[in-house]
Amino acid sequence: MDVQHNIAEVAADPGLAVTAGPEVSGATFHDISTRILGSINTVIDGKPEAARLALTVLLAQGHLLLEDVPGVGKTLLAKTLARTIDCTVNRIQFTPDLLPSDVTGVSIFSQDTRRFEFRPGPVFANIVIGDEINRASAKTQSSLLECMEEHQVTVDGTTHALGDPFMVVATQNPIEMEGTYPLPEAQRDRFMARISMGYPDPRAEVDMLETHQSVSPLEGIRPVASVADIAAMMRQVRDVYVSPAVKDYTVAVGQATRQHPRLRLGASPRSLLQLLRAAKAGAALEGRDFVLPDDVAAIADAVLAHRLLLDRKATSAGETASSIVHDILSRVPVAREAPRR
């Protein structure tokens, strides 16, 4: 099954004319998501799927891993997403000498109060951009990853809650690059989805050269949604209905990864939970309050591929985790049984 094709089909959905929500006072879910995506697309040329995936992960309350070679706009995407929303944004440039306390914050002895005071680190924000996360030492990486999981920071025995919403958008270079500490499997599992940006197509690249020459495209970006909007949208995403058939399908996909002969490690139960959450957000972005198997299939590559471990034979045969996910999607039956009556 061609996932890319699915997305195109979803976009050109004649049924949507009937299913689109009505206009009510204030902005609809559809309006806000359209505005956010529109803003991002003015900055990132020719990557609407990446923008959409990023927003999907945000609404599904997950964390996003952007992985690609340097210079294709990973950081720009993260920054743009953060700026379209009226929220606090921090950026951490990971380097080999970065310490955990540089991420979480430190307690400093105050001469005035004669007590230790907590100085929050850059992780205290709604959206945290972790640039080149694989350049930092494993110790520092794990300090961030713990924050991602727990949504809180504990320093010197005191627990400090992180922002709400809280999303980490980490970028990393492919592991073959020099001077990197690849994320271990357990930590990759914490990211809801991984996106490879890929090079823009030639036309988009020409446009990019033209518009980005003089001014930074980020400067024109104004927030189009408030934190409250995003929180409300997240609630709606949580309420999206998942039918038993779709749950069965999700589990079937997960089991297929565990039984696939070319995989050493299949999808974890946590990953299936996240897959379904992302699918809910995807459905909501489509204007639906129920999940279709298509929503699951459309996001399965992004959610599952970075957690799968290929065996040596598959690697040497040039297979990738993505190709295996697509292979699985083309084999797992959708309907529990053919429609009757």
Partner 1 sequence: MTTTLSRPSSAPAPGAPPPRRVPSGDPWHWAVTGASLLAVLAAASSLNGVVEPWTWLMPVVLTLVPVLLAMALSRTLRLNGALSALVGLVVLIGTLTAQFVRRQSILGVVPGPGTSLELRRLLAQAEETVVSQVAPVLPAAGIMLIVCAALGLVAIIVDMLSTTMRMPAASGLGLVTILITPAVVKPNGVGMGAFIVTALAFLLLLATAQWRENRLASGGARASSGFAARSAIIGSAALAVTVILPMFVPGFNSGLFPQGARLNVWGNATGLNPAVTLGNDLRNPTGFGRIAYATDADVPLYLRAVTLEDFSGRRWEPDQRLDAREDGVAEIGAEAGAPENPTDTTTVFTRVTTQSYASPWLLAPYAPVAISNLLGDWAWDPANLSVLATDGGSTARQAYLVESAAPQLTREGLGAIGPSDYEEVPEVFTELPEDVPEIVRTTTDEVAGEFVNPYDKALAIQSYLRDADFTYSVEAPVDGGYDGSGLDVMARFLETKSGYCVHYAGTMAVMARAAGIPSRVGIGYTPGSPTGDTEEGPNGTELREFVVDSRNAHAWPELFFEGAGWVRFEPTPSRGVVPNYAQQSTGPVGPRADDTDALNPGAPRNAGDEAGSTSEASEDAADPAGTGPQDEAGPAEGVLALGGIVLLALVPLLMRTSRTRSRRRSVGISEVSPGAPGAATAAWAETTEMAGDYGYPLEPTDTPRTFAGRLTREAALEGGPALSLGRLRSAYEYEEYADHDARAVGGPPADGTRPVATLARPVAPPRWDDVDAVTRALRSRSPWTRRIRARLFPQSLLNRFRSSRR
Structure tokens at 30: 């559809």
- Residue 215 binds partner 1, judged by CB under 8 A: no
Q: Which is nearer to partner 1, 155 or 285 (CB)?
A: 285
Contact between 42 and 84 under an 8 Å Cβ cutoff? The reply is no
Contact between 265 and 307 under an 8 Å Cβ cutoff? The reply is yes
Q: Which residues touch 43 (CB under 8 Å, ≥6 apart)?
A: 76, 80, 217, 218, 221
Distance in angstroms (rounded) separating the CA atoms of residues 14 and 242: 22
Secondary-structure breakdown of the chain: helix, strand, coil percentages, each rounded to the nearest 5: 50, 15, 35
Binder of partner 1 out of 114, 115, 222, 341 (CB under 8 A): 341
Nearest to 229 by CA among 12, 29, 34: 29
Site string for partner 1, 221-260 (x = CB under 8 A): -----x-xx-xxx-xx--xxx-x-xx--------------
Q: Which is nearer to partner 1, 167 or 240 (CB)?
A: 240
Q: Which stretch binds partner 1 (CB under 8 A): 12-20, 148-156, 208-216, 309-317?
A: 12-20
Binder of partner 1 out of 248, 290, 319, 327 (CB under 8 A): 290
Binder of partner 1 out of 27, 89, 138, 265 (CB under 8 A): 27
Site size with partner 1, rule: CB under 8 A: 57
Q: Which stretch binds partner 1 (CB under 8 A): 79-87, 142-150, 215-223, 292-300?
A: 292-300
Q: Which stretch binds partner 1 (CB under 8 A): 90-98, 197-205, 283-291, 317-325?
A: 283-291
Integer-rounded Cα radius of gyration of the chain: 21
Nearest to 60 by CA among 252, 292, 300, 230: 230
- Residue 183 binds partner 1, judged by CB under 8 A: no
Q: Judge residue 1's burial from the number of C-beta atoms within 10 Å of its C-beta, 0-12 exposed, 13-18 middle, 19 or more buried.
A: middle
- Residue 323 binds partner 1, judged by CB under 8 A: no
Binder of partner 1 out of 47, 133, 293, 325 (CB under 8 A): 293
CB of 198 to partner 1, least distance (A): 24
Nearest to 166 by CA among 238, 106, 230: 230
- Residue 42 binds partner 1, judged by CB under 8 A: no
Nearest to 143 by CA among 89, 179, 191, 101: 101
CB of 20 to partner 1, least distance (A): 8
What residues line the site for partner 1 (CB under 8 A)? 1, 5-6, 9-10, 13-15, 18-29, 32, 226, 228-229, 231-233, 235-236, 239-241, 243, 245-246, 284, 287-294, 297, 329-335, 337-341
